[in-house]
Amino acid sequence: MRQLAVNGSSVRYLVGQRKAHPGFDPSHIQLRDVNFRLDSLSAQGHNIQAVIRSFSMNERSGLTVQSLSGRLLANQKNIRLPQLALKTPHSQLELTANTTWSFVENPDKGDVDMLFDARIGKQDVLLFAGALPEAFRKEYPFRPLMVRATLKGNLSGMQLSQLKAELRGHFLPAVGES
């Protein structure tokens, strides 16, 4: 069993000369208090295995990741994320994904198959929503945005076989959906 641990680190990713936008700005990522622990780590060519035991960090925008856990399994042909779970103080997201190395090497070929299930709190929605009028920010409900999506394909053709979004009291799944 091989392990990798990082405690109390920071990472900066800055692109361009402009000032950072309020909220999350992918051109100005500044992580602090980065902590993670991987174990069962092994890699030999495309054969990779890792267990993410813990991950936490704080980002310049106010985004906080309390925990991230899951597994990565890969062989000569496939890459699997059986269940990646992310939690912030306001949200919970789960991702299950299967893909091929050919997709990683060329996203127009190969396939990816993903199931995304999330409860996203108001505070996290507003971090990623960009510059919105103050009236919208105030009126946005203090309820989680529920999203469930199933995707399959590649950049040449993606099939969205399921998309459900619900914000109770504002928009709901179609009748008969649960």
In tens digits, the chain (178 residues) has pLDDT values of 588 899 999 999 989 878 888 888 889 999 999 999 999 999 999 999 999 999 999 999 999 999 999 999 999 999 999 999 999 999 999 999 999 999 888 888 888 999 999 999 999 999 988 778 889 888 899 999 999 999 999 888 989 989 999 998 777 665 445 5
Structure tokens at 106: 């060329």
Query: Residue 74 is part of which domain span?
Result: 4-11+40-166
Structure tokens at 48: 């990779």
> For residue 16, what pLDDT is reported?
82
The tally of domains found in the chain comes to: 1
Q: Is residue 35 part of a domain?
A: no
Q: Which residue has the tokens 């495309």?
A: 46
> For residue 175, what pLDDT is reported?
47
Q: Is residue 176 part of a domain?
A: no
* Residue 139 parent element (H or E): helix 134-139
- Cβ atoms of 165 and 147 within 8 Å: the answer is yes
Residue 158 bridge partners (DSSP): 153
Its pTM stands at 0.85
Q: Is residue 173 part of a domain?
A: no
Q: From CA 20, how far away is CA 30, in angstroms rounded?
A: 10
Q: Is residue 80 part of a domain?
A: yes
Q: From CA 60, how far away is CA 64, in angstroms rounded?
A: 9
Q: Is residue 177 part of a domain?
A: no
Q: Which residue has the tokens 């309390």?
A: 66
